[in-house]
Amino acid sequence: MKKIRVRFAPSPTGPLHIGGVRTALYNYLLARKEGGTFILRIEDTDRTRFVTGAEAYIKEALSWFGMVPEEGPDQGGAYGPYRQSERKERYREQVQMLLEKGKAYRAFDTPEEIAAMKEAWQAKGVHSPKYDAVTRQSMRNSLTLSPSEVEELVASGAPHVVRLLVDPGREVAFEDEIRGEVRFSTSELDDKVLLKGDGMPTYHLANVVDDYHMKITHVIRGEEWLSSTPHHVLLYEAFGWRAEMPVFAHLPLILKPSGKGKLSKRDGAKFGFPVFPMDWEAEDGTHYLGFREAGFLPSAVINFLAFLGWNPGGEQEIFTMEELVEVFTPQNIVKSGARFDYDKALWFNQQHIMKCTVEELYEMVKDRVQSAYGVLDAPYVKEIIPLMQERIKTLNEFVPSTRFFFTEDWAYEAKMIRKKWKEDSPRHLKALKDVLQGLDPFEAPAIEAMVRDFIQENALSFGAIMPLLRIGLTGTMKGPDLYKSMEIIGRERSIQRLERALEAFPAIKAGGQHPG
């Protein structure tokens, strides 16, 4: 069997959309699973859509996800260069070959002439006229002009394109791994431009020439390219490469959360979730949020994306990249569109956070802690992490939800205090503070036992004292295990906070501001 070679072939026209990441992922998984080669090819021939920084963004995103290509612009390889703008000569040679074989022709028509042609056909009732076997006959091209006229025009440098000569009236079919047999009639197709007026190849030409020369065995790409594939098949035929044509697999669309229509970059801003792997500042000043900056683990985004349009069957949903490599089969990719569900992305992230070791999570949150407080006490942060692991959905939640471990600068949840602060409360809270003060060692199981005994001995209810204790110590009702939190905060600070609460709560109860 041939060694599998797959390519991810993005155009540097902006930041990599999450759909592009999924395309890269499926290519990567197949290559890894089959011991094949994963190639990065930059398709940058459309200079009008070129965006500075996009290629660097794409590479950074791939490396954040751990999908490093074996061949590519930075890695090199036996089939380079891997940037299409550096392969112009090759495309020109290949087009020359098609011209000589009579499979392509030169066309000198101006955009105005083409527009006029289309209008004239529309007036005759043709719905969407195109440059094809019927219309090309009335146009200025090397099929209608005499050889000497063509020669003169070319010699004088007349602007022109080279088009693929599509023979009408043929049924052609190819096999798509996901969709099965796809049939089309050549009568439906236009004579696609292969080489543009500026000498640059079009996507179709460059893509096919490169896939052939780079010995690509599988083309795995988004569904939006399915309609281009008939032309690609004709190109393989025209070159005489049909026997070496790669296997095609067109991935289902990623749909909006509503399930209606394709997920777009504007949906991210509209619904407030990321649709890009990393932040991106567009040239017009628009800021696009990235999964990375939203506090996602790359492994969680990968897991989430893997399941957008594929599943291994069975119950297991949480997979590492290595595990995905094991179970990935393109046969399990579905045909129908996959709905983007941000809550599901958060769930995957939470699951991946829970699977991390303390050391791993520490590495992920330490910069956030450092920048929030200006200091970083590693052993202290590592004590807090196990408490928070099940409680945070994103890394960004770590700092806001652990404030009370690091600072005294937080406000009390006043509503609960007003509800719970009763006549007896000061006496009880003070008594509890006093017993806690004498507790040694100040550790969670002992604190818990002591609080329970205290409640029982004083015939109190949990509801009468626990909320006050929690808010006094942390400011809020939401939070991790209180006894463990107290152990980490330590006796001294816990006692100080309770003293502060004893002063602040009556004022809050009375409706005033707490002294802070």
The verdict on 18 binding ligand GLU (CB under 6 A) reads no
Which residues in 121-141 are b (16+ Cβ under 10 Å) and which e?
beeeeeeebbbbbebbeebbb
Measured from the CB of residue 229, what is the shortest distance to ligand GLU in angstroms?
9
* Of the candidates 200, 199, 194, 184, the residue with the CA atom closest to the CA atom of residue 131: 194
Distance CA 450, CA 403 (A): 26
- Write the DSSP assignment of 466-494 as a string of letters: HHHHHHHHHSSS--S-HHHHHHHH-HHHH
For ligand GLU, which is the closer residue by CB, 45 or 474? 45
Measured from the CB of residue 46, what is the shortest distance to ligand GLU in angstroms?
9
User: Active-site residue 382, yes or no?
Assistant: no
Choose, from 33, 88, 265, 366, the residue flagged as catalytic: 265
User: Between 128 and 147, how does the x/- string for binding to ligand GLU read (CB under 6 A)?
Assistant: --------------------
The verdict on 10 binding ligand GLU (CB under 6 A) reads yes
Distance CA 448, CA 455 (A): 11
Measured from the CB of residue 358, what is the shortest distance to ligand GLU in angstroms?
40
Measured from the CB of residue 368, what is the shortest distance to ligand GLU in angstroms?
34
Applying CB under 6 A, among 94, 142, 186, 207 the residue interacting with ligand GLU is 207
Distance CA 454, CA 163 (A): 88
The verdict on 221 binding ligand GLU (CB under 6 A) reads yes
Applying CB under 6 A, among 4, 5, 6, 9 the residue interacting with ligand GLU is 9
Only one of the segments 4-12, 292-300, 362-370, 440-448 lies at the binding site for ligand GLU (rule: CB under 6 A); that segment is 4-12
Only one of the segments 5-13, 299-307, 320-328, 478-486 lies at the binding site for ligand GLU (rule: CB under 6 A); that segment is 5-13
The verdict on 11 binding ligand GLU (CB under 6 A) reads yes
Report the amino acid identity of residue 190.
D
The verdict on 61 binding ligand GLU (CB under 6 A) reads no
Give strand pairing partners of 161.
107
Applying CB under 6 A, among 4, 17, 26, 43 the residue interacting with ligand GLU is 43
Read off the tokens for 209.
Answer: 């020439």
For ligand GLU, which is the closer residue by CB, 221 or 231? 221
The verdict on 27 binding ligand GLU (CB under 6 A) reads no
The verdict on 231 binding ligand GLU (CB under 6 A) reads no
Measured from the CB of residue 204, what is the shortest distance to ligand GLU in angstroms?
9
* Of the candidates 291, 408, 415, the residue with the CA atom closest to the CA atom of residue 22: 291
For ligand GLU, which is the closer residue by CB, 43 or 132? 43
Measured from the CB of residue 15, what is the shortest distance to ligand GLU in angstroms?
12
Distance CA 180, CA 177 (A): 6
For ligand GLU, which is the closer residue by CB, 9 or 504? 9
- Write the DSSP assignment of 103-149 as a string of letters: SEEEE---HHHHHHHHHHHHHTT-SS--SSTTGGGGS-BTTTS-HHH
Distance CA 252, CA 222 (A): 7
The distance of Cα 347 from the centroid of its chain, to the nearest Å, equals 16
The verdict on 245 binding ligand GLU (CB under 6 A) reads no
Measured from the CB of residue 249, what is the shortest distance to ligand GLU in angstroms?
11
Measured from the CB of residue 504, what is the shortest distance to ligand GLU in angstroms?
59
Task: Give the C-alpha distances (Å, rounded to integers) separating 61 from 121, 277, 295, 351.
Answer: 47, 6, 15, 22
Applying CB under 6 A, among 79, 225, 271, 483 the residue interacting with ligand GLU is 225
The verdict on 39 binding ligand GLU (CB under 6 A) reads no
Only one of the segments 8-16, 353-361, 401-409, 414-422 lies at the binding site for ligand GLU (rule: CB under 6 A); that segment is 8-16
Does the bond joining 201 to the residue before it have cis omega, within 30 degrees of 0?
no
For the chain, how big is the Rg over CA atoms in Å?
32
Which residues in 356-371 are b (16+ Cβ under 10 Å) and which e?
beeeebbebbeebbee
- Give me the residues that bind ligand GLU (CB under 6 A), please: 9-11, 43, 207, 221, 225
For the annotated catalytic residues, the residue numbers are 265
